[in-house]
Amino acid sequence: MEANLHLDEKQFEIAAIEEKKRRHDVMAHVHTFGQVAPSAAGIIHLGATSCYVTDNADLIFIREALSQVIKKLAVVIDRLSSFAEQYRDLPTLGFTHFQPAQLTTVASFQFPTSHTLKYQELLWDLRNLKRARDDIGFRGVKGTTGTQASFLTLFDGDHDKVEELDRLVTSLCGFSYAYPVTSQTYSRKVDVDALSPLASFGATAHKIATDLRLLANLKEVEEPFESTQIGSSAMAYKRNPMRSERICSLSRHLMVLQQNALMTSSVQWFERTLDDSANRRITIPEAFLTADIVLTTLQNVSEGLVVYPKVIARRISQELPFMATENIIMAIVKNGGDRQEAHEKIRVLSHEAGHQVKHLGLENDLIDRVKADSYFDPIKAQLDELLNPSSFIGRAPEQVDKFLRDWVKPALADPELQEVLSKGEKAELNV
C-alpha cells in the first residue's frame, strides 16, 4: 500500500512537467499518480477516457457552485425582506416611463410585491437555481463514445456488472442518477441549463441596481457611502453609486456568458470535438465567479441602503395635487356639484399651476388656488384628507406583508438556507 495517496505541491509540480511534455492534462496526472503509486501505475485509467475524469469532476463542481450561489442569494433576499418590512407603508412616488405615476410605497416600489417585478424575480431566481442544481445528473462510467464497450470487455461481457459499476460510481460521488445516454462527454446542454439561471439572475440584479442609480439621482434612496469615501476625483461633492454601477457592469457580463454555452452546445460534432474544452474552462468558472461578486455587492448594498423620507415627501407634494384632482372632483359631486363643471374648474387651475412649475420654476400651488376659489368651499374642510399620501397607496403595505409571509418566509425556511442565514454575516467589499 502506498503511503502518500493525496496530492501535494510537489505532485502538482510533477504534473506540470508531465503536461508540458505530453500536451495532455489528464495523462499528465495519470503519469504523476503512477509515480506516487507505482504498483498501481499499470492499471490507472484502465478502460477510462479523459472525459470520465474531467466531465464527472465538472458536474461535481457545477453542482457545488450552484449550492454556494443559492445560499448567497438567500442572504440577499433575507436582507431585502428586512428593508421591505421597515418601509412597507412609507408612501413614495411611483414612475412609469420614468414619468411621475400613482403613489406606491418604498418597500413595494424598491423591492416590489407580487404585482410588480424585482423582489419577486429574486425568488424566481432562487427557484430556478435550485431546479438547475437538483436536476444535475452524473456522466458516470460510459467509455470513449458512450457505449461502455471498454468496461464490457473488462468484465468479460457481463452487462450487469457494467451497469452496477456505473451505479456505484454515481452513488459514491453523491448523485442520485447518471445520464442514461452520453457521448464521450455529457451533453453540453447541461452547461446551458446551469448557466441559464445565472444569466437570468444577472438580469434581475441589473434592474435592481439600475433603479437604485436612478433613485440616487433623485436623492430619495442611496446605496452605502462611507464617511471617507470619495465619489469623484474632480468633483468633491459627488456621491456616485459605484456599487450599483459595478453590479450593472458585472451583470451584463454574466448575462452574455450563457451565449458561450449555447454556441458550444450547438457545435459538438457527433460524439464530441475538443473545441469545447478551452471555452468551457473559462466560461463556466467565470459565470460562477461573476455571480458570486454580484451577490456579494448586492448584499453589501442591501445591508446599507439609506432612505431620505423628507426628499420623498417633497417630491410627492410637487406631484400629488395633480393626482388628487379626480378625488376633488368626486368630493364636489358628492356634495351636490356638477361633474363637468368641477372638471373644467380643476382643468383651468391645473394649467395655471403647471405654468408656475414649468415656466417660472416655482412650487406647485394648485391646492392654494383651489382653496382660494369659492367654488370649492363645500369641500375645503376635506382637502387635507383628500391629499393624504397614505390614501393613494392602495393595498401596497398589505401586499408587502402577504408577500413576505406567504412567499419569502417559506422560501427561506429551507434548512439548507437557515444554516447560512443564522450566521448573520455582513458583506464587506475590499475596494
Full 3-state SS string of 155-218: CCCCHHHHHHHHHHHHHHCCCCCECCCCCCCCCCHHHHHHHHHHHHHHHHHHHHHHHHHHHHHH
pLDDT recorded at residue 179? 95
pLDDT recorded at residue 108? 66
Distance CA 273, CA 51 (A): 12
Say if residues 387 and 317 touch (Cβ distance below 8 Å): no
CB atoms within 10 A of CB 134: 10
The fold of the 325-386 domain, in CATH, is Ribonucleotide Reductase Protein R1; domain 1 (1.10.40)
The answer to whether residue 227 is catalytic is no
pLDDT recorded at residue 48? 87
Which class is 55-136+186-309+401-421 in CATH?
A: mainly alpha
Say if residues 194 and 135 touch (Cβ distance below 8 Å): no
Catalytic-labelled residue, pool 176, 232, 249, 391: 232
pLDDT recorded at residue 56? 94
pLDDT recorded at residue 102? 81
Measured at the CA of 131, the angle between CA 163 and CA 185, to 5 degrees, comes to 40
The answer to whether residue 266 is catalytic is no
Q: Measured between alpha carbons, how far is residue 79 from residues 89, 210, 357 in Å?
A: 18, 19, 39
Query: Would you give per-residue pLDDT tens digits along the chain (431 residues)?
Result: 344 556 678 888 888 888 889 888 888 888 888 888 889 888 888 888 888 989 999 999 999 999 999 999 999 999 998 898 899 989 998 888 888 878 888 886 544 433 344 678 999 999 999 999 999 999 999 989 999 999 999 999 999 999 999 999 999 999 999 999 999 899 999 999 999 999 999 999 999 999 999 999 999 999 887 776 766 666 767 788 889 999 999 999 999 999 999 999 999 999 888 888 889 999 999 999 999 999 999 999 999 999 999 999 999 988 888 888 888 998 999 999 999 999 999 999 999 998 998 899 988 898 999 999 999 999 999 988 888 898 888 888 988 899 999 999 999 999 999 989 988 888 877 76
Domain ranges of the chain: 9-40, 55-136+186-309+401-421, 325-386
Distance CA 169, CA 165 (A): 6
